[in-house]
């Protein structure tokens, strides 16, 4: 059994190991009813509190919070868990981030066994100092040209301030001197990507550029993007990958947009910083920028924290490029519903919104956003009309469709077949063949084995409808440490019919503390255990007014097991295959069930 310490470390920093008692102490110090009640109006209802669910729209309260058990459950959408689950769901954080946030609120010190955090603190300080310098420079005399440029792009001074835009002066060492004046070493400046080194000389990385600060999903400053206003050089440069920043794990403005994404049920993904800002100005506050067209599974995971639908809104030339379409399929295979906003030729969102009537046109295009497979056909229309390239284009589109989850692909097969000029039976055969080749690893195009769902799949564990009695038994085991310590798994495990639930019950009975298990599941990103346990609590709430809950649940599961066995024996008897021992078992089970005795 792995040490619980490995599940309590913050892997984002790579060097932190948390005190294993921190989770328990945080839960002791923060009452879940008080915490949730700060953002969700709750009222007393029997032994618990209830209110309108913060995770889905409803008019009648179905969201229950138990002070006694320190858990929550929504009978409408099925979400539930403890205070950590709530913070992770509501704020879109992973476990380590939720742990850090709640520890700060509770006044719990998270012990670390290495000192790398102090170094990262210095790097973060360098970043904040640089941001203040860039913003001050934009407002000074040297920032006049940049301010005028932003105004021409439709970004006035108050908006620039709201998005923390700045200006890097055309100097080789002004920022370096600023950092030194604040007591920040060149080493921290280099680690932060603010300074660069060549031939033993250290100098400012960003020079003569408008600065866009990039914050992670929690709002932590991790990088900068710099846009050249005039002169020669790359149009954009970004902070290098390092201790703070990983491009594949970040999206520009996600920290600002995440609540709007949750409320509107969608994100809008654009390519550049200015496009994202202009969409926010126009009221599309769910917009984020991908910092390029190379999209990743990590970015998909970030977006899925807040909504399952993502509208891609690249300019028409970029959207049709092979790399961009490949990136879109990566997002779709990760579980996002990808739609593509088809912009007029040569236009990007910024251009369109700046035109007379541009807002209305853009709104119409958003409403008519196309599913990815259908957009793929549009993007390859030229190749499909060319006899020499038609076969290759068809293969690319079919591979893209075959790489999607089965249920998602099935929604589009008929339209894709029509668009490719292929009969439906032939299309189904091509899809099957493509899936087989993908699963064998023979194709390397748009598809990949990581995104292939076998026939019959497509429902994830977290979408499953839990058996209420099995969930209730897991909940009772979870909350009763004394019973867990004396119960024999041999008597309990056979009562479960689902392999997933059997595995969960074995984990609960393994001897590990519930804090260790919960932390482990959170670190692996698996919501199934806590949702099943929460569902069990909800079922117990309905059935716990009279009698002993343990006996009620065990009796219900025992009766079901006996009835299932009785049916199997009856079938063997009807076929003349039952042995004398099986006949005696059959008679005994029939007697027990007739007498209402279900317990095993």
Per-residue pLDDT of 6-47, as tens digits, reads: 333 333 333 333 455 788 888 888 989 989 988 889 988 888
For residues 323 and 335, give the distance between their C-alpha atoms in angstroms, rounded to a whole number. Answer: 19
- Mean pLDDT calculated for residue range 495-516: 83
- Mean pLDDT calculated for residue range 285-313: 88
- Beta-carbon contacts of residue 566 (< 8 Å; ≥ 6 apart): 586, 589, 590, 593
- Beta-carbon contacts of residue 87 (< 8 Å; ≥ 6 apart): 93, 98, 101, 102
pLDDT surpassing 80 at residue 456:
no
Q: What is the pLDDT of residue 543?
A: 63
CATH for the stretch 5-106: 3.90.580.10
Q: What is the pLDDT of residue 320?
A: 58
Return the structure tokens found at 192.
Answer: 């932060």
pLDDT surpassing 70 at residue 119:
no
Q: Residue 600, Cα to own-chain centre: how many angstroms? A: 42
Residues 176 and 195: beta-carbon distance below 8 Å: yes
- Beta-carbon contacts of residue 258 (< 8 Å; ≥ 6 apart): 92, 217, 305, 306
Which range, 75-79, 112-116, 346-350, 372-376, is most confident? 372-376
Q: Please tell me the least confidently modeled range out of 335-339, 394-398, 508-512.
A: 508-512
Domain range list for the chain: 5-106, 116-245, 249-376, 380-451, 462-594
DSSP string, 46-89: TTEEEE--SSS--SS--EEEETTTTEEEETTT--EE-HHHHHHH
Q: What is the pLDDT of residue 600?
A: 38
Q: Which residue has the tokens 């010190």?
A: 109
Q: What is the pLDDT of residue 457?
A: 38
Q: What is the pLDDT of residue 19?
A: 52
- Mean pLDDT calculated for residue range 351-359: 86
Q: What is the pLDDT of residue 6?
A: 30
Q: Which 3 state secondary structure label does DSSP give 494? A: helix
Select from 231, 348, 224 the least CA-distant residue to 291.
224
Confidence band of 441 (pLDDT split at 50, 70, 90):
low
Q: What is the pLDDT of residue 507?
A: 84
Do domains 5-106 and 462-594 share one topology? The answer is: no
- Mean pLDDT calculated for residue range 509-517: 79
Q: What is the pLDDT of residue 308?
A: 87
Return the structure tokens found at 182.
Answer: 């604040």
Return the structure tokens found at 195.
Answer: 């300074």
Residues 533 and 73: beta-carbon distance below 8 Å: no
DSSP H or E segment with residue 537: helix 528-543
Confidence band of 408 (pLDDT split at 50, 70, 90):
confident
For residues 205 and 198, give the distance between their C-alpha atoms in angstroms, rounded to a whole number. Answer: 11
Q: What is the pLDDT of residue 120?
A: 52
Q: What is the pLDDT of residue 411?
A: 83
For residues 97 and 107, give the distance between their C-alpha atoms in angstroms, rounded to a whole number. Answer: 15
Q: What is the pLDDT of residue 598?
A: 44
For residues 398 and 433, give the distance between their C-alpha atoms in angstroms, rounded to a whole number. Answer: 10
Q: For 30, phi and psi rounded to 5 degrees?
A: -115, 120
| pLDDT top residue among 157 and 511 | 157
Return the structure tokens found at 544.
Answer: 């716990």
What does the mean pLDDT of the chain come to?
Answer: 82
Select from 289, 139, 158, 154 the least CA-distant residue to 214.
289
Q: pTM higher than 0.75 for the full model? A: no
Q: What is the pLDDT of residue 121?
A: 62
pLDDT surpassing 70 at residue 371:
yes
Return the structure tokens found at 172.
Answer: 């080789």
Q: Which 3 state secondary structure label does DSSP give 187? A: helix
Q: Which CATH superfamily is domain 116-245 in?
A: DNA primase, catalytic core, N-terminal domain (3.90.980.10)
Q: For 509, phi and psi rounded to 5 degrees?
A: -90, 5
Helix 468-479 and helix 528-543: axis angle, to 10°? 100
By CB neighbour count within 10 A (0-12 exposed, 13-18 middle, 19+ buried), where does 129 fall?
Answer: buried
Q: For 340, phi and psi rounded to 5 degrees?
A: -115, 125
Q: Which residue has the tokens 């593509």?
A: 340
CA within 13 Å, CB half, 489: 10
| pLDDT top residue among 365 and 354 | 365
Q: What is the pLDDT of residue 584?
A: 78
Q: Which 3 state secondary structure label does DSSP give 17? A: coil
pLDDT surpassing 60 at residue 83:
yes
**Regarding the domain delimited by 249-376, which CATH topology (the fold level of the hierarchy) does it fall under?**
Dna Topoisomerase Vi A Subunit; Chain: A, domain 2 (3.40.1360)
Q: What angle do CA 80, 85, 90 make, to 5 degrees?
A: 95
- Mean pLDDT calculated for residue range 542-570: 76
Residues 505 and 517: beta-carbon distance below 8 Å: no
CATH for the stretch 462-594: 1.10.860
Q: What is the pLDDT of residue 22?
A: 82
| pLDDT top residue among 444 and 226 | 226
By CB neighbour count within 10 A (0-12 exposed, 13-18 middle, 19+ buried), where does 134 fall?
Answer: buried
| pLDDT top residue among 181 and 481 | 181
Confidence band of 466 (pLDDT split at 50, 70, 90):
confident
pLDDT, one tens digit per residue, over 335-351 is 899 999 998 888 888 88
Percent of the chain with pLDDT over 90: 30
Q: What is the pLDDT of residue 129?
A: 94
Q: What is the pLDDT of residue 160?
A: 95
Number of other residues whose CB lies within 10 A of the CB of residue 416: 24
pLDDT, one tens digit per residue, over 240-277 is 988 788 888 899 999 999 989 988 989 999 988 999 99
- Mean pLDDT calculated for residue range 408-419: 86
48-51, strands of its sheet edge to edge: 43-45, 48-51, 63-66, 71-74, 80-81
pLDDT surpassing 90 at residue 96:
no
For residues 418 and 426, give the distance between their C-alpha atoms in angstroms, rounded to a whole number. Answer: 11
For residues 536 and 473, give the distance between their C-alpha atoms in angstroms, rounded to a whole number. Answer: 7
pLDDT, one tens digit per residue, over 171-226 is 999 999 999 998 999 999 999 999 999 888 999 999 999 999 999 988 889 999 99
Residues 10 and 120: beta-carbon distance below 8 Å: no
Q: What is the pLDDT of residue 455?
A: 32
For residues 448 and 410, give the distance between their C-alpha atoms in angstroms, rounded to a whole number. Answer: 18
């Amino acid at each position: 059994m792995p040490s619980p310490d490995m599940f309590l470390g913050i892997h984002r920093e790579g060097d932190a190991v948390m005190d294993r008692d921190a989770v328990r102490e945080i839960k002791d110090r923060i009452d879940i009813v008080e915490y949730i009640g700060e953002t969700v109006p709750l009222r007393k209802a029997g032994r618990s509190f209830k209110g309108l669910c913060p995770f889905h729209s409803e008019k009648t309260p179905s969201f229950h919070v138990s002070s006694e058990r320190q858990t929550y459950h929504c009978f409408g959408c099925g979400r539930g868990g403890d205070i950590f689950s709530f913070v992770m769901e509501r704020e879109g954080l992973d476990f380590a981030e939720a742990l850090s946030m709640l520890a700060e609120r509770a006044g719990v010190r998270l012990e670390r066994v290495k000192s790398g955090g102090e170094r990262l603190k210095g790097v973060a300080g360098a970043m904040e100092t640089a941001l203040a310098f860039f913003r001050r420079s934009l407002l000074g005399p040297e920032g006049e040209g940049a301010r005028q440029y932003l105004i021409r792009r439709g970004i006035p001074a108050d908006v620039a301030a709201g998005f923390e835009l700045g200006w890097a002066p055309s100097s080789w060492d002004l920022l370096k001197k600023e950092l030194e004046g604040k007591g920040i070493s060149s080493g921290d400046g280099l680690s932060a990507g603010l300074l660069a080194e060549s031939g033993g000389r250290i100098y400012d990385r960003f020079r003569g550029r408008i600065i866009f600060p990039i914050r992670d999903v929690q709002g932590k400053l991790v990088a900068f993007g710099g846009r050249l206003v005039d002169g020669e050089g790359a149009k954009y440069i970004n902070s290098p990958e390092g201790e703070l920043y990983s491009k594949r794990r970040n999206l520009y403005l996600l920290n600002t947009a995440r609540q709007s994404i949750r409320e509107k049920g969608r994100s809008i993904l654009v390519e550049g910083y200015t496009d994202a800002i202009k969409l926010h100005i126009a009221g599309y506050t769910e917009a984020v920028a991908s910092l390029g067209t190379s999209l990743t599974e990590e970015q998909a995971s970030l977006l899925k924290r807040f909504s399952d639908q993502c509208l891609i809104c690249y300019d028409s030339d970029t959207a049709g490029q092979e790399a961009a379409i490949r990136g879109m399929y990566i997002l779709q295979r990760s579980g996002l519903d990808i739609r593509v906003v088809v912009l007029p030729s040569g236009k990007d969102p910024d251009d369109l919104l700046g035109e007379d009537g541009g807002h209305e046109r853009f709104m119409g295009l958003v409403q008519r956003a196309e599913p990815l497979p259908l957009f793929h056909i549009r993007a390859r229309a030229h190749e499909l009309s060319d006899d020499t390239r038609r076969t290759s284009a068809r293969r690319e589109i079919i591979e893209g469709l075959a790489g999607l989850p089965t249920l998602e692909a099935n929604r589009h097969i008929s339209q894709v077949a029509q668009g490719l000029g292929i009969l439906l039976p032939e299309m189904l055969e091509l899809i099957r063949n493509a899936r087989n080749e993908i699963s064998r690893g023979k194709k390397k195009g748009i598809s990949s084995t990581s995104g292939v769902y076998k026939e019959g799949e497509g429902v994830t564990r977290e979408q499953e409808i839990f058996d209420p009695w099995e969930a209730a038994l897991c909940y009772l085991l979870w909350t009763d440490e004394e019973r867990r310590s004396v119960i024999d798994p041999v008597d309990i495990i056979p009562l479960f019919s689902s392999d997933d639930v059997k595995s969960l019950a074995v984990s609960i009975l393994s001897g590990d503390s519930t804090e260790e298990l919960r932390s482990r599941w959170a670190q692996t990103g698996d919501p199934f255990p806590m949702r099943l346990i929460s569902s069990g609590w909800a079922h117990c709430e309905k059935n716990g007014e009279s009698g002993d809950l343990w006996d009620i649940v065990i009796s219900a599961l025992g009766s079901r097991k006996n009835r299932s066995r009785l049916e199997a024996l009856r079938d063997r008897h009807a076929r003349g295959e039952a042995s004398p021992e099986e006949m005696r078992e059959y008679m005994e089970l029939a007697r027990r069930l007739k007498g209402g005795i279900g317990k095993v």
